[in-house]
Amino acid sequence: MYRLCLLGCVLLLGACREKAPDEGALRLTVKYSASHPPACVRVEVQDARGHKEGTDIPKSQFQERDEQELRVAVLRKADWEQALSITVSSFDKDEAGRCAGNEVERRASEQPVPVPPKKFSQWTLQLMAADADGDGHLAGATWDRLADCNDNDAAYHPGAKETCGGTVDFNCNTLTGCQEPGCRAEACDDGNACTQGDHCEGEGKAASCVSGTPTQCQQPGNVCAARMACQPTTGLCEPGALPQGTVCDDGNPCTLGDACSAGACAGTERQCAAGSDICRESGGTCNRDTGRCDYKPLPDTATCDDALACTTPDRCDGNGACVGTPTACAAPAQCLRIAQVCTTGADCRYEADPAKLNTPCTASTGAPGVCLPTGACSPFPYPTSNFDPNTIAAADIQGLKTTGNVTFNSDTLTWNPAGTVQNSAQLKYKILPQGTGVTDAVLLPVATLDLGGSLTLVGARPVIVAVFGDAVVNQPIFANGTTTVAGAGAHQQCGTATGANGEFANRKGGGGGGGGNGTVGKNGGRGYDDGGLPGAAGLTRASAMVPLVGGCPGGEGGGLGVAIPGKGGAGGGAFQLSVARTLTVSKRITASGRGGGGGQGNS
C-alpha cells in the first residue's frame, strides 16, 4: 500500500520506514465517506508548549481511495512534548494545492496522543460528512449550514418543497404542514377523510390543522336498519352493526315489547286474560284494529245476575249485557221513603222520610221508638252515651216503682230495704265494660221511673238508669260520697286528681287537699293558728261523658302521736239518667263529694 509522508520540520517522508525514528513518530489514518470524498484535508498537530505545524492534502494526492482513507506519517521533533494534539479539517475546494472554500468539517483528538521515542503511535479519525442520497446536501458536517435530516432519501434536504397539508419534515427545519411559514388559514388535511374544509390555525410549533365540517351520512327511515357512519380512512358512508333490542313499533297493536332483531321490528303476541263479563265468553282474542281483547257474547238463553236486587228474572241479551225486569219498590222501614225507583240500570234506593221525623215507630228490639233524622227507628230520639238502647230487648224493659227511701248497691245489685221496690225480681241489669283500667258500669233499663222516696246509689260501679218512657223525679237521688263512703263509681283512675295529705309541723297539723275531677280541688287548711302544712289540691282531669267515672278523694290531715289526723272526704259518685220521653225534675239529683273528718288530740 502506498503511503504518503509529509515533508517539513515535523512531518517527514519517513512513514515508509519500518524502523521508527529516535524521536518517535505517529501514524495517522483519516477515514471519509465514499459518498463525499473531501476536496482537501488539512492536518494540524500541536504540543502543550505551543509548538504547532500543519499541512494541506488535496484530493488529487489521496492514494487509498478505494478504502476511503488517507494515511499520514508525523515525525515528532526532538524539542516537542511526547504527546501531540491532532486536528483534521475538510474543505469543499482546493486552490494550488492548498485547502480553500468552506470548512465542511473539523475533528480533533479528545486528548493528546502519546508519541514515545523510537516508537510508532497509531491514531485513526473518521470524517462524518456524507451525502448518501446524492442530493448535494451533507449530513454529519460541522459547518453552519442545515444538515440533511435523512441522508438515505433524496427527497429530504434543506430547501425541499413542503405543503401546508403535509405531515413530513422534508426541508429539515423541524416544522411540518401548518407549522411552515405562511400556512395560516391555508388548506390542510387533518387525516380524517370525514371532514371538509380543514385549515391551518396558529403559528410555528403551536400551529395545527383544524378539522372542518363533519360529513353527515343520510340515515335510513327504518329504525331497525343499520345506522350509516362515515369512515375516516375513506370518507365514505357505510352501514354499521344492526341495532339489537332497540324499542320500535311493528304497527301491530296486538304485540307487546316490540324491539329490533336482525334488522326487523317484532314483538310478542298479546295473550288475552280470562274475561269477567258474565254475558261473554271467558276466552278472548286481540283485535288488530283496536289492540283490545274482544270476548264473544253469550246467547240470550243464558242466565245471569245484573247485581240489581229489584230486577227479575235476569238473562243475557245476546249482545253481552245482563238485563232484568224491574219490580216495584217498597220502603223496608217505617221511617224511610222511596228515593229511587227500580230501573234496568238502578236499584231501589231509600232515604229518611221528613214527614215521619220524631213520629212513633217500633225498634228492631220490639221496644217503642221514634223516627230519627237518619231514618232509623230508635227508642231514644238522641244519641246516648255509654250504652246503646237498640241492644235492649223490649222484654227487659220494666217499670221501676218504689214505696219509700231505698238504697241500690251497684256491686251486689240489691235493694235495701228489699220490699221497697215492688217488682225487683222483674228488673234486668246489664253490666257494661268501660275499657282497661275503668270499672264496669251498671245499666238499669226501665219503662218508667216512679219514686216513692229517696234513691241512694252506693258501690264501686257507676249507675246508668235508662228510662224508655217518661220519668218524674219528685224524690231526691243521691250518688254523693260521705266522709268515709265513696259515691257509686267514685275513686276511678284518680292519680294526680287525688288531694295530697296534710303535714304535721310546728305542733300543728295541716288539712288534706280537696280531690279534683272536672275542676281543680282546694288546698287543705293550715290548722290551728295557721301553723300546720296543708296538703295540695287534686288536679283537674279530662271531663267527658265517656267513660262514666266519679270524683276523687281528698287527702288526710296531718297528725303525730296522740294527734290523730282527720280522714279525707270521699269523692262523689257517677250517675247517668237518660230519658227517652219527658223528664220532670222537682227534687235534687246530687253526686257531690264530702268534706273530710276533723282530727283529735294535740301534741
Predicted model pTM: 0.49
Closest CA to 386 of 547, 225, 518: 547
Unique residue bearing C-alpha cell 241492644: 391
Residues 489 and 461: beta-carbon distance below 8 Å: yes
Mean pLDDT for the chain? 90
Residues 67 and 83: beta-carbon distance below 8 Å: no
> Exposure of 384 by Cβ count < 10 A (0-12 exposed, 13-18 middle, 19+ buried)?
middle
Angle in degrees, CA 224, 230, 235, rounded to 5: 150
Q: What is the pLDDT of residue 602?
A: 58
- Domain borders along the chain are 4-126, 340-378, 381-603
Of the two residues 571 and 529, the one the predictor is more confident about is: 571
Does domain 4-126 sit in CATH 2.60.40.1120? yes
Q: What is the pLDDT of residue 601?
A: 64
> Does the pLDDT of residue 123 top 70, yes or no?
yes
Residues 424 and 416: beta-carbon distance below 8 Å: no
Please compute the mean of the pLDDT values over residues 405-421 and round it to a whole number. 95
CA 396/CA 426 separation, integer angstroms:
8
Q: Which three cell numbers stand for residue 193?
A: 377523510
CA 475/CA 450 separation, integer angstroms:
9
Residue 480 DSSP SS3: coil
For the stretch 39-78, pLDDT in tens is 999 999 999 999 999 999 999 998 777 889 999 989 999 9
For the beta carbon of residue 206, count every other beta carbon within 10 angstroms.
9
For the stretch 83-119, pLDDT in tens is 999 999 999 999 999 999 999 999 999 999 999 999 9
CA 256/CA 247 separation, integer angstroms:
11
For the stretch 10-28, pLDDT in tens is 343 334 456 889 999 999 9
CA 554/CA 538 separation, integer angstroms:
7
Name the least confident of 34-38, 275-279, 329-333, 535-539: 535-539
Provide the pairing of β-strand 228-230 with 237-239. antiparallel
CA 467/CA 152 separation, integer angstroms:
131
Residues 436/442/445/451 CA torsion (nearest 10 deg): -150
Q: What is the pLDDT of residue 1?
A: 30
Name the least confident of 98-102, 122-126, 267-271, 537-541: 537-541
For the stretch 496-533, pLDDT in tens is 988 888 888 888 888 887 888 888 889 888 877 777 78
Closest CA to 45 of 15, 73, 13: 73
Closest CA to 424 of 412, 437, 441: 412
Residue 470 DSSP SS3: coil
